[in-house]
Structure 1
Amino acid sequence: MRHLLVIIVVTGLVLPVPVCDPSVQFAPVPSDTAHDSEQVYGTDLSYDVYQQIDLDSYRDYIIKLTENGSRWTEFSDSVTFSDANVYARNWIIKTLDEVSQGRIETEILGDHKSVVGILPGWASDDAPVFMVGGHYDSAPGAPGANDDGTGVAAALELARVMSQYSWPLDIYFCFWNSEEIGLLGSREVAGILNDRHLDVLHYFNVDMLLVDDPDGDPDEQVLSVYNNYAPFHESKYYSYLLKALSNNIGINIVDPTPSSRFFGWQRSDHYSFVQEGYSQVSFLFESGFERDDSYHQPTDVWNNPLYNYTVATEAVKCIGASMAFVMAYAPSQLTHMDYEESLEPGQTRAYYIPISAPTNMTVYSNWTGGGLDFSLRSPSNLLIDEAQFSGSNMDSVEALGGSAESLALYKVVVSNPSSTPVVYDISVRYDVDLNGDDILDSKQYWFDPIMFSLDLDGDDLSDGLEKLIGTSRTDSDSDGDAMPDGWEYFHGLDPLTDDALEDPDNDTVLNLFEFGNSTDPQCSDTDQDALPDDWEIEHGLDPLTNDTAEDPDNDGFTNLEEYELDQDPNSPDMTTTTATSSTTEIGMPWGMVVMVAGMAAVVILVGILLLRRRNL
């Protein structure tokens, strides 16, 4: 009987059961670049970037930069460069090329020979850019490990990590010269970039990070000085974002500090950009300057016992994470901060959320192990919403919601009141306005928002979306395969590749004919009626309508029965009874009865043969 059972089971599997999920959505994918690096669109890689920034790598850059002593420059009628300064410049250019595998394009700008390396983005030539950097010269007699080896190493380490991806925006890695004699290098480059009409989204200036303040608050060990004379979204937002990410995924050491309360606001290279009209800057600086006795001294060496590389590297990690977080957003998608953690009994965890425009905030969570309490609090710690859940295994719970009206840091607090550990993930979703144009970023991208309301070629793809995915805005069939770009895109095909003769759902209906018949190229049974598209098309039925119970040839067999019996639904089939008695009393067609009886006879015969063989 074991063999007989197997035969019956196999016989029952002869009919294919197509499975199609109408909820599947195909997200827009940006067009390919000439590089093999991973292209970023709509994906938050802030944690990945944070994790890849490496303390040893960061410190090694400082060691290499300072091995030849002071990198001084002088200026009277012309610029004089020390040998160490020239060596550092050439080493920076070589290192940028090596760490990016040739992706970063470098140029030397101005009489003071500042170095700017550009990692090209894919979004648009007129999109804004990120900048990060510091100065590579040092004071006479000082090796300049802290001032400003920290800024040079920050830009190089970020170049190493960020160049592993293809970001939507250009990233400028900047190495200024002659900072120590009056910000001369950055001043002339700021003018050059302004003449080029460069649109800077934000510039992170790094200058001296290595001395912490052991007597200060643990969460104020690196100052992120913002331009408090600039609009919120240009400067203060980024200091708040650094603070949020340092708290949410790091060791929580960043202190947002207004420029009006910082003594050195005009003494580093970001200020050259402020003077040139670029107000979208921030300045990352050490908290322990008052005890930094190696400032401009020969003791400013990489292994100075006062230097804290953990704190400095954390600042660099947060800069990289911030750029990655900002470049994650996509049209029609809310910004979200997602984290996965665990809480011991009685433990509480707070997450900071930087709000750049009035928005609604929603908090979702899943957890196992015990109950959780949630609260949403305003910048002044006022309660906006709270909820308590006693369930120990909860899935996709909308835990909190509320309105955020102030441009500031909000806080989501999660507590474990139970007696057992709880593992949970949390997703905070909200909208942002990073360019301050009063259009929420979920409704636009890094170029003119009007493009998302235009469709010049009438292919059902907006011009903005065509720009994102690389299709033509004036040709409705970019790849010339006789299938419109919009139809291919929304059906999960590639509008940039001739795939007319491919068959992704394996129903023998090629993509071109799926388009002609309005069927789904990703689903072998578009109307979900158990009749495959190819069979319906071949027999003149409608693959878009459930017509299983119809009988177009009036032979007493429904379309489904004709398919199961491998008969033509448009040609009457012979029956063993009259037309008025083509079915049994239980409603089964006689043809099917004959087929089932025949199959049963075969099964019995095979079983008898197997039993005889066994008896032999």
Structure 2
Amino acid sequence: MRKLRFIFVVFILTLMIPQMATTSSIADEPQPVNASEPIARLPRVYDIDLANEIYEMVVQNRYRGYVQEFTENGERHVYNYKNIPGSNNELSRYWLVDKMNEVSNERLEIEILGDYMSIVGRLPGYLPGEHPAFVISAHYDTMPFCPGANDNGAGIAAVLELLGIMSQYEWPLDIYFVAFNGAEAQYDVIPGRLMGSGEVSIIFDERDIEILAHFDVGAILRKADHAPSDQRVYLAYYDDGGFNPYTQSRYWAELGKAMSNWYGGDFVQTIPASSFIEYYRADIRKFIERGYYNEILAFETGLADDYAYQLPEDVWNQNDYTYSIGREVTALIGASMAYTMSKAYGEATRLSFQGVAYSGYPLRYYVPVTMATILNIAGRWFGSSATFLVYNPSGALIASSIQANTHPWDSTQIFSIPVTQNGLYRIEVWDNSINSLGVELEIDYEVDANLNGISDQYEYWLDTSLFSIDSDSDSISDAMEIIYGTDGTNVDSDADEIPDNWELDNDMDPTDPIDALLDFDDDTLTNLQEFLYGLNPNSADSDMDLLPDAWEIAVGLDPLVNDANEDPDGDNLTNLEEYIRGSDPLSDETEEPLYILWIGVPVAALILVGVVIFLIKRK
């Protein structure tokens, strides 16, 4: 029995050898930090063109669902504001307010204005002070006995769909989402109709709200029979009764057409108000009467063919309605706003296009020009030779270039054309062979959206002198501090011990102190530790020497120097070999790797036990 106890003690001591043998002089590596994730902040838009992204975010089925849900309860007519209480019109307003709060994630600041109780919601911009705003509107009442799917559930659906999308970002300018009431009130008397928009336009004027562009969406779902594909919907613009050939309103209509051309189905025909009577029958007329002229109306080209217009047959599942038009109108309005608010101070406008042309089917791109500028057009193309053509707004060919060779690798300057006529320029790319032609184009030019004679490149919705002032000397101008939302008088706005400029350079949020305690690259070092050591918080190996930063710090090496092949302890093992073996690179007492100890020692223990048993039995 004593012999068995002796054997047991020897066996236990043998198993303890690995624990003693693997005791290392290397300091413990930093441990992961358990910190709460920062509260997600909405993307703040500046110097990033989101036009295409906004365009693609518009969903046709969701748009159609809004039309169906809003109109299934029947007419929403109100003859006089005194008839609103207890009516279906009132219930529709309740539904709309709830839905607008829902889709905006309660970011919308909603007011009910006027006796006719129009709904006005403001999505606040992040720039301080008074600045021009965008407006998108539609009326929510109907004619008697009319469910109003096209007139004007289609417009309300555009407001809701766009509200849900634009609310996912922080924009520099305010955006107003408006549902007018009383558009069809007192429709049988003069003056009648447009009651709610009349009230709202007066309130906007009294509040000195400047409108950069106002898109009003009317009946849009019925395209004209036999109309070309690029005439499925009108964008009508104010032209001062035909006396002013180019207005800001025309620019916005042409920008909308360009958006449909660049990113969508090229559905749009622009038309001056002097040639389109429905323009002055819409709610925007009341804004024009108050001196607001940047008014654009989206309206169907098929009114003459629309037998359901303002009648009981105007239901959401009407066979003649084309919901892709509703989706397109919504998308081009959102893209136009995003394109405008994405600009950066001091940078010229640059457009980028990619496409494929086929023999007999050219690529066409429209460019809205608002001032004397130079159209710089460069690109690369492959698969075929190409012909490039440029037409002015009058339709005259002003430049052509036949390229006999392909240029698949390097961008080639094609045109540098001085232009002075305002309007839409058309660029065409033709395939000169039977093969397909791949094209990538870049177009640089200057834009003057407010027609004040100054390129938008040199203007912004802030005092531009702030872009050259840095009050806290942190290399971030006072203007950019406003745009980023940081404190222009403090180098560390969130007091997390990391300077604002370092956080911005490393994709951190300088307004959120929590991210100092996070570990972006999962290397057990917090972002604050990465800053203090001068490391890259987005890379676990800042010096790219295959040695993790945390390990180098723990063993006393420099994580900013590529020292993987050095041997500071002179034991003929490089630092990289020491890391792989798990040994100390600053000690020449070479230790066996763990896997040898944990495999070899138990085997040796078993052999030792076997020898002891053999000797006992032999005695």
Q: TM-score range by the shorter chain?
A: 0.7 to 0.9
CA separation of 1:466/1:263 partners in 2, compared to 1, >3 Å: closer, same or farther? same
Q: 1:75 is aligned with what amino acid?
A: N
> 2: CA distance between counterparts of 1:58 and 1:523?
43
How much does 1:174 deviate?
Answer: 0.9
1:493-512 superposed matches below 5 A:
495-496=510-511
SS of the residue 1:362 aligns to = strand
State the match for 1:390 in structure 2: 405
Q: 1:526 to 1:195 in 2, by over 3 A?
A: same
The reply to whether residue 126 of structure 1 matches residue 130 of structure 2 is yes
RMSD over aligned Cα, in angstroms? 4.2
Determine which of 305, 312, 320 is the counterpart of 1:306: 320
Provide the residue aligned with 2:230 in structure 1: 219
2:342 to 325, 328, 349: 328
CA drift of 1:243 comes to 1.3
Task: Give the paired residue count.
Answer: 520
AA in 2 matched with 1:149:
G
Q: Which of the pair has the greater relative contact order for Cα pairs under 8 Å at 6+ separation?
A: 2
The partner residue of 2:476 within 461, 482, 490 is 461
Where does residue 377 of structure 1 map in the other structure? 391
Aligned counterparts of 1:228 and 1:405: Cα–Cα separation in 2 = 19
SS in 2 for 1:139: coil
After superposition, the Cα gap between the structure-2 partners of 1:518 and 1:103, relative to the gap in structure 1 and judged at 3 Å, is closer
Cα pair 1:385 1:402 within 8 Å, conserved: no
Residues 1:124 and 1:425: Cα distance change in structure 2 (over 3 Å): farther
Instruction: Please give the residue correspondences for 1:127-166 in structure 2 after superposition, counting only pairs within 5 Å.
Output: 127-166=131-170
Residue in 1 that maps onto 2:415: 400
Say which of 345, 353, 369 aligns to 1:355. 369
| Secondary structure of 2:79 counterpart | strand
Match of 1:199 in 2: 210
Letter in 1 for 2:312: P
State whether residues 74 and 146 of structure 2, in contact with CA within 8 Å, keep that contact through their aligned partners in structure 1. Answer: yes
Over residues 95-131 of structure 1, what are the superposed CA-to-partner deviations in whole Å (9 max), with x where a residue is unaligned?
1122223233322111111112222332334232211
Contact 1:116–1:174 (8 Å) recurs in 2: yes
The counterpart of 2:59, out of the listed 54, 64, 67, is 54
What letter matches 1:175 in structure 2?
Answer: A
Q: Which residue of 2 aligns with 1:339?
A: 353
In structure 2, the gaps of 5 or more residues are: 1-37, 186-192, 544-551, 553-559, 570-619
Match of 1:43 in 2: 48
Letter in 2 for 1:185: G
The TM-score with structure 1 as length reference comes to: 0.73
Query: Structure 2 length as normaliser, TM-score?
Result: 0.72
> Identity, % of aligned pairs?
36
Pick closer, same or farther for the CA change 1:481–1:203 going to 2, 3 Å: same
Structure 1 residue 346 displacement after superposition: 4.7
- Indicate if the aligned counterparts of 2:159 and 2:177 stay in contact, CA closer than 8 A: yes
Tell me the CA shift for residue 193 of structure 1: 2.1
**Distance change (3 Å), C-alpha of 1:506 and 1:89:** closer
Cα displacement (A) at 1:153: 1.4
Q: Aligned partners of 2:93, 2:74: CA distance in 1, in Å?
A: 14
* Correspondence 1:498-537 to 2 at 5 A: none
Which residue identity lines up with residue 53 of structure 2 in the other structure?
A: D
Q: Structure 1, residues 178-205: CA drift from partner, whole Å, max 9, x if none?
A: 0112211111111222222222211100
What's the CA shift string for 1:145-202, capped at 9, x where partnerless?
2221221111112122222333332221111000112211111111222222222211
Task: Please list the CA deviations of residues 42-91 of structure 1 after superposition, one character each: whole Å capped at 9, or x if unmatched.
Answer: 22222222223233222222222222222111227x45356221121111
- Is 2:266 the counterpart of 1:256? no
- Counterpart CA distance in 1 for 2:534 and 2:39 is 35
Residue 74 of structure 1 aligns to a residue whose secondary structure is: coil
The 1:389/1:461 distance shift into structure 2, 3 A limit, reads farther
Question: 1:427 is paired with a residue of what secondary structure?
Answer: strand
Paired AA for residue 58 in structure 1: Y
Q: Contact (CA 8 Å) 1:45, 1:325: kept in 2 or not?
A: yes
Question: Does the alignment pair 1:91 with 2:95?
Answer: yes
| Mapped partners of 1:520, 1:328: distance in 2 | 29
- Is 1:186 the equivalent of 2:197? yes
SS in 1 for 2:121: strand
Greater per-residue helix proportion: 2
Alpha-carbon displacement from aligned partner over 1:471-517 (angstroms, at most 9, x marks no partner): 2233355345777656765687765467999999999x999999999
Q: Distance in 2 between matches of 1:248 and 1:483?
A: 42
| Change in 2 beyond 3 A, CA 1:383/1:132 | same
SS at match of 1:265: helix
Please give the secondary structure, in 1, of the residue aligned with 2:92: helix
| Alignment partners' CA distance in 2, 1:299 and 1:510 | 64
Aligned partners of 1:520, 1:53: CA distance in 2, in Å?
A: 38
1:315-338 Cα deviation digits (max 9, x unpaired): 222222222222221123332222
Is the 1:72–1:137 Cα contact (8 Å) retained in structure 2? yes
Distance 1:123 1:231, change over 3 A: farther
Query: Which is further off, 491-500 or 80-89?
Result: 491-500
Residue 68 (structure 1) aligned to one of 54, 59, 73: 73
| Deviations 1:5-39, CA, capped at 9 Å, x for gaps | xxxxxxxxxxxxxxxxxxxxxxxxxxxx9864443
SS at 1:464 equivalent? helix
Change (3 A) 1:401 1:187: same
